[in-house]
Structure 1
Amino acid sequence: MSSSLIRRACAVALLVTSTLAPAAVSAVAAAPPGAPGPEPRRAVQARLLGEKTVPYKLAFQGTTVGGLSGIDRDRCTGEYVLISDDRSFLQPARFYTARLDVDAGGVHAVDFTGTRPLLQPDGSVYPSPALGDGKAIDPEEIRVDPLRCRYWWGQEGDRPAVAGAPVIQPSVEIADPDGAHRGRFRLPENYAITPDRGPRRNQAVEALTFGARGTVVTSAVEGPLVQDGPVPDVHQGALVRVTRQTRDGRVLGQFAYPIEKIFAESDPSSPWGPDTGVPSILAFPDDPERYLVLERTWVAGSGYKIRLYDTTTRGATDVRAVDSLADRPVVPMRKRLVADFHTLGLSTVDNTEGMTWGPVLPSGERSLILVSDDNFDQEAVTQFVALALR
């Protein structure tokens, strides 16, 4: 989750082209952490269809719309489901349903149709972190199970910044469309927060996707695990873990995804350091080893940089048994740039965190719908963006 103390960046228009294709790569190679694999070859193109901004702190059914960090389409209703990252500070942690009018002509309307609180196993709402009872959550991602149309939602938990505060483990919860709790997905062991291992604070599970017709669940941590080395800086990137699992939690493979270095130096007068990571991952419908990965970076004085990559686990080293990626030669996931949001012609580039597939267009292109998290900050926006990919 990025600081809300930002100045938003401007955008210029440009069509962006990238490529990606399967290639045979050795499973282990003497490459430094974060070094890219061989260049992919299959072309992917992205162009802007349009955008729509939701009013700041829109009041809807007794709640404040904002903090939208994840989006997915519910095939059982045809509507979209969005999760708010309000940790029960304003209202109980919740999700929204909405109808989106998106076609080749752009984003014509965003109409919210409902909202429900996310419920604990005992049927109660999640409490505010201010209570300090260790039961709070940090909702960041939501996906609709393509087999049962239940909602799987990810939350980052909390590695406390102060001694004595409770540790809240990251998790993926399962809910009915009315918000009722129906279970929990078993995450890999190295996603757990321990004193010297696991996700950093605010850099745990933000990315989740179903693939292979709903039989494979893929997740990514937002930033490098503590044991995997330092966070990115202006000189070098870092490796974050992406894990493929069966629906019952059996690990099929874990891979190192290389995130970019920080794009600019921070304003020295700002108390906030740069923030970067992977807030969303999305499986390609026809290739279980291929994903779109969203990278989101914020730098004080420079604003946001949002980039979308086409990537694959094919040929990457399986690192599930590797305790630390620091200085370990592995072949990371290969990636190619699909879009830098500053080149799309958007009215503003903000804290984009969620994405999902939209309708297939008459041109044969597949639409991609993204949403930004305004952090309930008047200087930010809740922005829906539609791209066409081919």
Structure 2
Amino acid sequence: MSASLIRRACVAALLLTSTLAPAVAAAPAPGTPAPESRGPVQARLLGEKTVPHKLDFLGTTVGGLSGVDRDRCTGEYVFISDDRSFLQPARFYTARLDVDADGVHAVDFTGTRPFRRPDGSVYPSPALNDGKAVDPEEIRVDPLHCRYWWGQEGDRPAVAGPPVIQPSIEISDPDGTHRGRLRLPENYTIAPESGPRRNQAVEALTFGARGTVVTSAIEGPLLQDGPVPDLENGALVRVTRQTRAGRVLGQYAYPIEKIFAPSDPTSPWGPDTGVPSLLAFPDDPERYLVLERSWVAGSGYKVRLYDATTRGATDVQAVEALAGQSVRPMRKRLVADFHTLGLSTVDNTEGMTWGPALPSGERTLILVSDDNFASDAVTQIVALALR
């Protein structure tokens, strides 16, 4: 959940456009697709279901659902809440989803557990200012062992005083017990003049290559990689492929779009855009669905789904700063603009996972929106059919 979203509470073939990016501040928008032997991924809406606002479940407040994955060991889905232990301890939920070719028929929560620290305690509220809080954003079920790997953004304090909390990818058992942590690339570290911006760190995580490769993405550009997107230019964010033990296999620059509309000049909040989720294709370890989500004061949300690949992109793990460098970014192709799908509303969609296959040969994609616990937002479960 990025800064402006917090304040407001206060979605084939291989791609396609191969472009040489001259600099971070002028990251390319999608262009003419390169010829491919197969056509692009097509998406259509199957249905949606809205979870009641601030639903009380087993003494917890359901909301802030910013990541979702399917547990092959149980057949259920796992949702992560980005409540930073302000309402209740940082936690996840399990649920059964009734989804088929006719839509989303039911969302039934079955359980909830808090994440545990290595000493067995729950994570404290950031209000304690002890540097031990977390900001949960993404969850994936390990396809090998059915443990939960979850990403948290940490915190770069906006003012002097509170301690820095580094982003991390934690590993937990299905009962919340802490089991370990993935070693992240050095450039994911929050430092005074480098690393992730505040609320724009590790928010996307996926398993690929039959569970042997872990891919993560930084939500927005690192400080040293150039400015955030504006009305004229997009930006580059880093996508990293690693082994389960943490060895970096490659790091790539993914081009996010420029801001889609001018911001309301009367609003104190600036626009916000980034990558809240990515999902590996089961049959291609270098291909991903990438979700881009933007918010602009006065215009609301823009959510777009891209088919993207690291194949042919420059490995930038040794490039200290992308700003001013010429690198070949990941190629991408638009799969869906959510405003064209026929949804009741387009909100703060942050999580996605593969759902069941359909008799038509299509594959379902399940998405969830993060309501930020705000009354003017929704927790929306969406099912798309992808061909």
- TM superposition score normalised by structure 2: 0.95
Q: Kindly provide the CA deviation profile for residues 234-267 of structure 1, in whole angstroms up to 9, marking residues without a partner as x.
A: 1100000000000000000000000000001111
1:165 Cα deviation after fit: 1.2
* Equivalent residue in structure 2 for 1:326, among 313, 323, 326: 323
Do residues 305 (structure 1) and 305 (structure 2) align? no
1:164 Cα deviation after fit: 1.8
Contact 1:37–1:331, Cα closer than 8 Å, also in 2: no
| Residues 68-147 of structure 1 aligned to structure 2 (within 5 Å) | 68-147=65-144
- Match of 2:41, SS state, is strand
- Equivalents in 2 of 1:96, 1:24: separation in Å? 38
Q: Which moves more between the two structures, 357-366 or 264-273? A: 264-273
Do residues 21 (structure 1) and 4 (structure 2) align? no
1:37 Cα deviation after fit: 8.0
1:129 partner amino acid: P
Alpha carbons of 1:91 and 1:287: their partners in 2 closer, same or farther (altered >3 Å)?
Answer: same
Question: What is the RMSD computed on CA atoms of the aligned residues?
Answer: 1.7
Aligned to 1:39: 33
Aligned to 1:342: 339
- Match of 2:174, SS state, is coil
* Equivalent residue in structure 1 for 2:371, among 366, 374, 390: 374
Q: Kindly provide the CA deviation profile for residues 69-119 of structure 1, in whole angstroms up to 9, marking residues without a partner as x.
A: 000000000000000000000000000000000000000000000000000
Q: Among the aligned pairs, what percent are the same residue?
A: 81
Contact 2:15–2:331, Cα closer than 8 Å, also in 1: no
1:331 partner amino acid: R
Q: Which moves more between the two structures, 308-317 or 30-39? A: 30-39
| Runs of 5+ unmatched residues, structure 2 | none
Contact 1:20–1:335, Cα closer than 8 Å, also in 2: no
Alpha carbons of 1:25 and 1:308: their partners in 2 closer, same or farther (altered >3 Å)?
Answer: closer
Contact 1:30–1:329, Cα closer than 8 Å, also in 2: yes
- Match of 2:210, SS state, is helix
- Match of 1:227, SS state, is helix
Contact 1:30–1:330, Cα closer than 8 Å, also in 2: yes
- Match of 1:39, SS state, is coil
- Match of 1:342, SS state, is helix
Contact 1:155–1:206, Cα closer than 8 Å, also in 2: yes
1:143 Cα deviation after fit: 0.2
Aligned to 1:270: 267
Q: Kindly provide the CA deviation profile for residues 198-257 of structure 1, in whole angstroms up to 9, marking residues without a partner as x.
A: 000000000000000000000000000000000000110000000000000000000000
- Equivalents in 1 of 2:314, 2:79: separation in Å? 33
Aligned residue pair count: 378
- Equivalents in 2 of 1:253, 1:25: separation in Å? 18
2:284 partner amino acid: D
* Equivalent residue in structure 2 for 1:178, among 163, 175, 179: 175
Aligned to 2:52: 55
Contact 1:117–1:125, Cα closer than 8 Å, also in 2: yes
